Amino acid sequence: MKLTRKQFLAAATTSGLASLVGSRQLTVAAAESKAKKLEKAAIKGATAATSRFIRETKAAAIPPAVFAQAKRCLIDGFGVILAGSTVRGSEIVRDYVRAGTDKRDATVLGATGLTTSVAYAALANGASGHAMDFDDTQLSTTPDRTYGLLTHPTLPPLCAALAVGEAQNVSGAAFLEAFAVGFEVECKIAEAIDPAHYNNGFHSSGTIGTFGAAAAAARLMNLDDRALAHMLAIASSTAAGIRVNFGSMTKPLHVGRAAENGVFAADLARRGFTGGDDALDGEWGFFQVLGGGADLDRLIGVLGKPWSILDPGVSVKPYPCGVLSHPSMDAMLKVVTEHDLEPDQVKAVRLRAGSNILQPLRYKTAKTELEAKFCIPFLLSSILLRRKAGVREFTDEFVSSAPVQQSMERVTTVFDPAIEARGFDKIRSVVEIDCVDGRKFVQASDDKYRGGPDRPFTREELHAKFTDCAQLTMNAERMAKALAAIEGVQEMKSIRELVAALA
- Give the per-residue pLDDT at 406: 97
- Give the per-residue pLDDT at 500: 96
Omega before 252 within 30 of 0, i.e. cis: no
How many C-beta atoms lie closer than 10 Å to residue 413's C-beta?
20
- Give the per-residue pLDDT at 206: 97
CA dist., res. 295 & res. 244, Å (int): 26
What are the structural domains, with CATH classification, of the chain?
5-43 (no CATH), 52-318+484-502 (1.10.4100.10), 323-444 (3.30.1330.120)
CB 86, CB 472: distance < 8 Å: yes
CB 296, CB 6: distance < 8 Å: no
pLDDT digits (tens, 9 = 90+) for 311-363: 999 999 999 998 889 999 999 999 999 999 999 999 999 999 999 899 889 89
CB 328, CB 349: distance < 8 Å: no
Distance of CA 54 to the CA centre of its chain: 20
At 154, which helix (H) or strand (E)? none
pLDDT digits (tens, 9 = 90+) for 203-248: 999 999 999 999 999 999 999 999 999 999 999 999 999 999 998 9
CB 223, CB 231: distance < 8 Å: yes
**Residues counted in the chain:** 503
Q: What DSSP line would sit under 362-388, residue for residue?
A: --SS-SSHHHHTT-HHHHHHHHHHHS-
CA dist., res. 290 & res. 73, Å (int): 28
Mean pLDDT, to the nearest integer, of 459-476?
Answer: 95
Q: Residue 14 pLDDT > 70, yes or no?
A: no
- Give the per-residue pLDDT at 15: 35
Q: Residue 8 pLDDT > 60, yes or no?
A: no
CB 352, CB 320: distance < 8 Å: no
Q: Residue 284 pLDDT > 80, yes or no?
A: yes
2-11, 170-179, 268-277: range with lowest mean pLDDT: 2-11
Return mean pLDDT, the chain: 90
30-34, 140-144, 453-457: range with lowest mean pLDDT: 30-34
Strand partners, 413: 351
pTM higher than the cut 0.75: yes
Mean pLDDT, to the nearest integer, of 81-108?
Answer: 94
What is the three-class DSSP state of 438?
coil
* Start-to-end Cα distance in the chain: 50
